[in-house]
Amino acid sequence: MKQKIVVSVPMHCDKCRTKALKVAAAAHGVSKVSIEGADKGHMEVIGDGVDSVCLSSLLRKKLGFAAIVKVEEVKGDKDDKKEEKATPPPGCVQYCPPMYYELDDEYPEPVQCSIM
């Protein structure tokens, strides 16, 4: 289930924007992150199985403030499903035979005791 989460994050400078985008992109299941809004204060996160509470807590830890504005399910087009089915399955892996090597001792053990 793909979902779209809109989070309000204070992003006053470029450093804050890049930090917020990196934190959101590193969250589990995120496929797309973008900044939107007239004042560029909202961040839109789209992904499969993204936990909105976990995402907002991560943003709060790194940036100080984050509030969830909206969470909604993204309805995909039928064309997307057809494209997924059109991709061929991954090919089989080539088998490489194991390599063996022989270890020769440079200094073989003496048969008799060399001290006597």
Q: What is the pLDDT of residues 20-57, one digit of tens each?
A: 999 999 988 899 999 988 788 899 999 998 888 999 99
Q: CA-CA distance, 114 to 32, in Å (whole number)?
A: 74
pTM for this entry = 0.61
Q: How many CB atoms lie within 10 A of CB 113?
A: 6
- The more confident residue out of 115 and 69 is 69
Cα–Cα distances in Å, from 80 out to 37, 76, 86? 27, 7, 10
Q: CA-CA distance, 88 to 28, in Å (whole number)?
A: 26
Contact at 8 Å (CB) between 42 and 76?
no
pLDDT attached to residue 39: 80
Please write the tens of the pLDDT for every residue from 51-82.
Answer: 889 999 999 998 888 999 999 998 865 555 55
Q: Where are the domains of the chain?
A: 2-73
pLDDT attached to residue 72: 92
Work out the end-to-end distance of the chain between its first and last CA atoms, rounded to an integer number of angstroms: 82
Q: Token pair 């090597």 is at which residue? A: 101
Q: What's the CATH fold of domain 2-73?
A: Alpha-Beta Plaits (3.30.70)
Give 69's DSSP letter.
E
Please write the tens of the pLDDT for every residue from 82-108.
Answer: 555 555 555 656 666 777 767 666 666
pLDDT attached to residue 6: 93
